[in-house]
């Protein structure tokens, strides 16, 4: 009788362990999916390098200068928005890169 | 995976952020109640009777055979419930750790004034101090310096890089958390793979590099007491049975496993995941130039290293030089906390850094494990369960000596694939040590081999934190771990058996029996 109870308990515990591993695997798969989606989203982005952002910043600033000659307030506001956007883009690149390529971030 | 499933997991949270899963909570509590309500087994009553007979008259006046048996039954039920919660993480684990004390309190097993002391042990200080030291190491990027050294020293041939990665991950994993080591090396592996993949498609190279990191981290843990909380818990359990393990003693016992596994895996892994390219000169050159941008070691990094070296020196000399200077040993925990406080006194870190960088939930969890081990032994539950298992395995001849050690290795290496290594040691450690004591087998050998065997979680992507981290890179599939584990697991078992037979007993002079 004692042996039967012991076997039953051990059996239940083994079932619990195996079943919980399945749920753990699902969590790992879900995490992997998120990482892959994130990577795929980066690949779809229009601006993917520091150089591209700087070039676009210059182009937009030139366009603003030539288009808003009569409205100084709008001109400086738009340039501020463009510069903030460019800085944020660069910051995003730095955060995305690993410590191998981004020494400032880690040390 | 469906969106609903992913969302539900998101709501549940992960790790210590996990909320209660009521299904598993119900099963755990049901097992606990069922085991309390079943009639007390005859063997348990007999064990309680023999414990009662050995008590002093004054102690006998305070208790009875039925009380002792009832306490044993409650603790066995508690252990079973803990197995469910540790395996499923259905309840926030620190809550499980605290429940261990609460059950002792509510069932009148331990006096209220003594409950807190069951959580207190040098091993708990050791875990807290080691985590704090590791967090400062990581804060200053000193861990990454090790990665740079490995890349500079490993050369450009894939076999040398694999040996470099195995050594470069396993050696730090013996001192800082394996998740940190895996997180540090993964970008290096991804960079090597990505830079090579631009020239020629090489998915197997990606698999080889990333699985090497996971396996290397697993193989480093057994080398030193700092290689994982499971080692500290085992040191705590061993001290409960009167065996003191020094840092050097553990190091001298564990180093064999790490180096032989590195040797074996450096041959096996490149065969299992045969890379498309063997020369990574271009990738290594680009990577080296990237790493050079980090510049030289700063003064603060040197200070962090100096304190760490001092701590390791004190750990090594604790039973010799330190003891002769102070007249007593400082203990592994005392030294670890000394280092953690020194970092603060030198202005290298703040308490806020420790709050952010140290998983205090882990400390609470393993303090709970220590409490469970202590009450398991004190109530006689360990002795009863050990005797029961011994009588079951006796017909197979595995109840003592070398066969018992083989049994412990197989059970530990199997269970660690179903539960975390720390949980495996926490729940079966006291039983295994009870079996060693009852059978006259050396508890030092049995205890340390159990802690080492729990590093063999090769089979699953969730076997260890390092496995999950490398899996998230997207270069590996679940079947790659099964493929790697199919060879690595039996090799690990053989290395452990060989280590006891040809190193621990003849070279270190350990006695198999006491």
Contact assignment for A106 to B87 by CB distance below 8 Å: no
Looking from the CA of B292 toward its CB, the CA atoms found within 13 Å total: 7
User: How near does any CA of chain B get to the CA of A59, in Å?
Assistant: 30
Q: Alpha helices of B318-439 — where are they, by DSSP H?
A: 321-326, 331-345, 351-357, 360-379, 381-393, 401-415, 421-439
CB B433 within 8 A of CB B446: yes
pTM: 0.86
- Give the model's pLDDT for residue B5: 45
Q: ipTM of the assembly?
A: 0.72
Model pLDDT for residues B280-339, shown as the tens digit of each residue: 999 999 888 888 888 888 999 999 999 999 999 999 999 889 999 999 999 999 999 999
Whether B418 and chain A come into contact, CB under 8 Å, resolves to: yes
Longest dimension (CA), chain A: 96
Pure H helices in chain A: 2-44, 50-67, 72-96, 103-106
Cβ–Cβ gap B6/A20 under 8 Å: no
| In contact, B87 and B95? CB cutoff 8 Å | no
The two tokens of residue A37 are 């989606």
Q: Does B9 sit within 8 Å of A27, measured CB to CB?
A: yes
For testing contact with chain B, the best of A27, A38, A39, A103 (most B CBs within 10 A): A27
Environment class of B98 (CB within 10 Å of its CB; exposed 0-12, middle 13-18, buried 19+) = middle
Rounded to the nearest angstrom, the minimum Cα separation between B509 and chain A is 37
- pLDDT, one tens digit per residue, over B181-228 is 998 899 899 989 988 988 888 999 999 999 999 999 999 999 999 998
**B17, B186, B462: best mutation site toward chain A, by most A Cβ within 10 Å?**
B462
**Residue A40 has what pLDDT?**
78
pLDDT in tens, B105-119: 999 999 999 999 999
Give the torsion sign (CA, B416, B419, B422, B425).
negative
Residue B361, chain A, CB below 8 Å: the answer is: no
**Which pLDDT band, with edges at 50, 70 and 90, does A42 fall under?**
confident
> By CB neighbour count within 10 A (0-12 exposed, 13-18 middle, 19+ buried), where does B419 fall?
buried
Can you say whether the dihedral through the CA atoms of B137, B143, B149, B152 is positive or negative?
negative
A-chain residues near B9 (CB < 8 A): 26-27, 30
Determine whether the interchain pair B460/A5 forms a contact, defined as Cβ–Cβ distance below 8 Å: no
- What residues pair up with B513 in beta bridges, in sequence order? B441
| Contact status, residue A49 vs residue B24, Cβ threshold 8 Å | no
What does pLDDT average to over chain B? Answer: 90
Question: Is B489 within 8 Å of B413 (Cβ atoms)?
Answer: yes
Nearest CA in chain B to A13: B84
Integer distance in angstroms from the first to the last C-alpha of chain A? Answer: 64
Average pLDDT over residues A83-107: 76
| Residue B247's pLDDT band (cuts 50, 70, 90) | very high
Q: Which of B5, B41, B144 sits opposite A2 (nearest CB)?
A: B41
The rounded distance, in Å, linking the Cα atoms of A22 and A77 is 55
Question: CA-CA distance, B38 to B462, in Å (whole number)?
Answer: 35
pLDDT above 70 (res B418): yes
Tell me: pLDDT of A62 over 70. yes
- The domain limits of chain A are 1-44, 47-98
HEC string of B77-126? HHHHHHHHHHHHCCCCHHHHHHHHHHHHHHCCCCCHHHHHHHHCCHHHHH
The rounded distance, in Å, linking the Cα atoms of B241 and B61 is 26
- Closest-CA residue of B relative to A18 is B418
Judged by DSSP in three states, B21 sits in coil
Residue B419 φ/ψ region, left for φ over 0, alpha for ψ in the -120 to 50 degree band, beta for the rest: beta
B40 vs A: CB within 8 A: no
CA separation for the pair A72, A81 (Å, rounded): 14
A105 pLDDT band, cuts 50/70/90, is low
Which carries the bigger pLDDT value, residue B138 or residue B344? B344
Q: Cβ of A33 and B298 within 8 Å?
A: no
Name the DSSP letter for residue B274.
Answer: -
A31 neighbourhood in chain B, CB within 8 Å = 14, 468, 472
CA of B317, closest CA in chain A: separation in Å? 33
Contacts of B14 in chain A (CB under 8 A): 27, 31
Angle at alpha carbon of residue B268, lines to B265 and B273, rounded to 5°: 115
Query: What's residue B207's pLDDT?
Result: 95
pLDDT bin (cut points 50, 70, 90) of residue B3 is very low
Comparison of pLDDT for B384 and A3, the residue scoring more: B384
Measured between alpha carbons, how far is B76 from B388 in angstroms, rounded to an integer? Answer: 12
Phi/psi at B177 (5° precision): -55, 140
CA distances from B20 to A38, B14, B91, B95, B137 (A): 29, 11, 5, 10, 33
Helices B142-154, B178-197: axis angle to 10 degrees equals: 40
- The rounded distance, in Å, linking the Cα atoms of A35 and A37 is 5
Count CA atoms within 13 Å of residue B359 on its CB side. Answer: 15
Share of chain A above pLDDT 70, in %: 93
Percent of chain B at pLDDT exceeding 70: 97
Q: How far apart are CA B105 and CA B21, in angstroms?
A: 25
- The pair phi, psi for residue B400, each rounded to 5°, is -160, 170
pLDDT surpassing 60 at residue B2: no
How many other CB atoms sit within 10 Å of the CB of residue B101? 19
Q: How confident is the model at residue B88 (pLDDT cuts 50, 70, 90)?
A: confident
Going by pLDDT thresholds of 50, 70 and 90, the confidence category of residue B392 is confident
Average pLDDT of the residues in B249-263:
96
Separation of alpha carbons B411 and B417, rounded Å: 10
Mean pLDDT of B53-80: 93
Separation between Cα atoms, residue B123 and residue B449, nearest integer Å: 18
> What per-residue string of b and e applies to B221-233 under the rule 16 or more CB within 10 Å gives b?
bbbbbbbbbbbbb
CA distance linking residue B373 with residue B429, whole number of Å: 8
């Amino acid at each position: 009788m004692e042996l039967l109870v012991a076997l039953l308990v051990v059996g239940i515990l083994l079932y619990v362990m195996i079943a919980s591993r399945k749920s753990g695997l699902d969590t790992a798969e879900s995490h992997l999916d998120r990482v892959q989606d994130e990577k795929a989203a980066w690949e779809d982005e229009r601006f993917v390098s520091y150089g591209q952002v700087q070039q676009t910043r210059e182009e937009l600033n030139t366009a603003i200068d030539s288009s808003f000659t009569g409205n100084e307030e709008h001109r400086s506001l738009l340039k501020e928005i463009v510069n903030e956007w460019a800085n944020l883009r660069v910051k995003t690149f730095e955060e995305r890169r690993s410590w191998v390529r981004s020494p400032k971030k880690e040390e | 995976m469906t969106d609903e499933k992913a969302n539900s997991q998101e709501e549940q949270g992960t790790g210590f952020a996990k909320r209660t899963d009521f299904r598993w909570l119900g099963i755990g509590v049901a097992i606990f109640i069922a085991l309390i309500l079943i009639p007390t087994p005859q063997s348990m009553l007999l064990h309680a009777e023999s414990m009662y007979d050995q008590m002093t008259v004054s102690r006998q006046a305070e208790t009875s055979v039925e009380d002792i048996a009832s306490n044993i039954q409650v603790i066995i039920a508690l252990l079973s419930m803990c197995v469910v919660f540790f395996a499923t993480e259905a309840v926030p684990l620190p809550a499980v750790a605290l429940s261990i004390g609460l059950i002792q309190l509510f069932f009148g097993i331990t006096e209220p004034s003594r409950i807190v002391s069951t959580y207190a042990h040098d091993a708990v200080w050791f875990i807290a101090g080691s985590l704090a030291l590791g967090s400062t190491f990581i804060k200053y990027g000193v861990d990454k310096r090790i990665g740079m050294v490995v890349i500079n020293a490993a050369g450009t041939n894939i076999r040398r890089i694999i040996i470099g990665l195995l050594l470069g991950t396993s050696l730090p994993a013996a001192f800082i958390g394996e998740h940190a080591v895996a997180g540090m090396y993964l970008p290096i592996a991804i960079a090597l793979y990505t830079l090579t993949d631009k020239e020629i498609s090489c998915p197997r190279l990606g698999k080889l590099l990333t699985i090497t990191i996971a396996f290397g981290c697993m193989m480093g843990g057994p080398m030193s007491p700092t290689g994982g909380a499971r080692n500290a818990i085992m040191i705590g359990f061993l001290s409960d049975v009167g065996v003191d393990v020094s840092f050097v003693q553990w190091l001298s016992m564990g180093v064999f496993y790490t180096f032989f596994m590195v040797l074996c895996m450096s041959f096996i892994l490149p065969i299992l995941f045969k890379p498309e390219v063997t020369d990574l000169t271009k990738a290594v050159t680009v990577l080296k130039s990237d790493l050079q941008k980090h510049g030289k070691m700063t003064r603060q990094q040197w200070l962090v290293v100096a304190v760490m070296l001092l701590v390791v020196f004190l750990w090594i000399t604790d039973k010799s030089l330190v003891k002769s200077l102070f007249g007593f040993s400082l203990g592994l925990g005392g030294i670890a906390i000394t280092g953690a406080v020194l970092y603060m006194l030198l202005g290298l870190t703040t308490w806020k850094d420790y709050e952010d960088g140290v998983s205090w939930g882990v400390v609470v969890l393993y303090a709970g494990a220590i409490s469970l081990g202590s009450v398991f032994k004190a109530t006689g539950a360990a002795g009863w369960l050990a005797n029961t298992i011994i009588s079951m395995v006796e017909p197979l001849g595995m109840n003592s000596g070398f066969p018992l050690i083989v049994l412990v290795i197989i059970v530990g290496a199997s269970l660690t694939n179903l539960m975390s290594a720390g949980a495996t040691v926490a729940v079966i450690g006291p039983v295994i040590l009870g079996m060693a004591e009852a059978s006259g087998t050396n508890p030092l050998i049995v205890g340390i081999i159990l802690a080492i065997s729990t590093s063999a979680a090769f089979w699953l992507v969730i076997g260890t934190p390092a496995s999950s981290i490398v899996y998230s890179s997207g270069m590996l599939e679940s079947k790659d771990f099964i493929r790697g584990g199919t060879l690595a697991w039996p090799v690990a078992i053989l290395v452990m058996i060989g280590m006891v037979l040809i190193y621990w007993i003849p070279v270190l002079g350990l006695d198999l029996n006491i």
